[in-house]
Structure 1
Amino acid sequence: MQRDARLAEIVTLVRQRGYMSIESLAQHFDVTPQTIRRDINDLSAQDLLERHHGGAGLNSSVHNTAYAARQVHALTEKRRIARLCAAHIPVETSLFINIGTTNEEVARALLHHSGLRVITNNLNVAAILCENRSSEVIVAGGVVRSVDRAIIGEATIDFVRQFRVDLGIIGISGIDGDGTLLDFDYREVRVAQAIIENSRQVFLVADHTKFERRPMVRLGHLSQLSAVFTDQAPPPAIRELLAQHDVQLHIADED
């Protein structure tokens, strides 16, 4: 296949699937990973794709991927991350769980934990954890966002600030190379900031596609976290920042 045709097909595949890893693209086109990296760099320079750690995604600094696509994107990886995170959450714990498809997998992984007190602004998380009869689920008030059943707004922030919990579980849309935590929705970010402020420890759950992805709304910094749970080693600059700020890094092994 000629290079121009391969570049066009790479763009098509990423637009269809939301994200493609370097490994899967190399296998698809029967070329080396180094060739795909050069292709992705060129396409990124043209603003046709966004280069991520280990692959390429949609150019999405302003708009997030549709919720239905996020539910299935990297689902196996999200489930591994969720199981690892749940293994570090003791029973009889109070916690916030906020918006995000990885957070929803964490909720599923907590179904057999006893004595949890969970405060959430995610109706999907609430519905999942209601099946755990030994735990209590408290749902924040506010405006329900229909696309993903997230609860956001000033009332949500005020509600969150009434509590002080053991652990906050947060998701993220992007982590810049300087350690800045980034997301798409200002109202969603303000709720997450309130969760960070009112949690004794903060766990971030994020698959590898979030590293060096650059949404436009600043949420906070890696230094505010207690631990990061992911499925692949982050880029060296981010690993250095985690070590510098004594943030634990947990990488989920493949099953």
Structure 2
Amino acid sequence: MILLGGRLRHANRSLVGILAEQAIENLWFDQVFLGASAVQPDDTISTPDGEEASLNAAMMRRTEECFLLVDSMKFGRRSTYKVGHLDQVSCVFTDTELDPGQVQTLRERGHKLVLAGHAEGNSDDTE
């Protein structure tokens, strides 16, 4: 296990801050899996913590592929700090509770979605 350093953010047990960001800038990732607090109506990915937003944005810059893992309740919400935009994400993984109109809108905008079912845990739909 490699730890980045920085300040421990108790809300999600992550390390954030300038020390963590400096470590990220010296690394390259094949894939990054990120969560988010909100996916705003304009497809902006955001979070309520500025240091977390900055660190996640740095990780998005330092990866070949970024995957966003968010439940359907995060769509249409707003949060304070911008992390990035859905155009920077290779694929969005969410649940089948996402409003069908929202699914259609995201696909029309060119975003790849994987909808995971609750009961069986199988991928219900990919495109």
Same-fold call, TM cutoff 0.5: yes
Question: What secondary structure, in the 3-state scheme, does the structure 1 residue paired with 2:2 have?
Answer: strand
Cα 1:236–1:151 change in 2 (3 A) is same
CA drift at 1:140: 1.0
Unaligned runs of 5+ in 2: 121-127
CA drift at 1:238: 6.0
Instruction: Give the aligned partner of residue 39 of structure 2.
Output: 175
- Check whether the contact 1:178–1:238 (CA below 8 A) recurs between aligned residues: no
**TM-score using structure 1 length:** 0.43
Higher relative contact order (CA 8 A, sep 6+): 2
CA drift at 1:235: 5.6
Instruction: Give the aligned partner of residue 20 of structure 2.
Output: 156
CA drift at 1:239: 3.9
Equivalence map 1:175-194=2 (5 Å): 175-194=39-58
CA drift at 1:244: 2.9
Instruction: Give the aligned partner of residue 101 of structure 2.
Output: 236
Cα 1:238–1:253 change in 2 (3 A) is closer
State, as a whole percentage, how many aligned pairs show the same letter: 29
Instruction: Give the aligned partner of residue 200 of structure 1.
Output: 64
**TM-score using structure 2 length:** 0.83
How much is the aligned-residue C-alpha RMSD, in angstroms? 1.8
Q: Choose between structure 1 and 2: higher strand proportion.
A: 2
CA drift at 1:242: 4.2
1:221 aligns with 2:62: no
User: In 1, Cα distance between the equivalents of 2:63 and 2:19?
Assistant: 19
- Check whether the contact 1:207–1:230 (CA below 8 A) recurs between aligned residues: yes
Unaligned runs of 5+ in 1: 1-136
CA drift at 1:178: 1.4
Q: Choose between structure 1 and 2: higher helix proportion.
A: 1
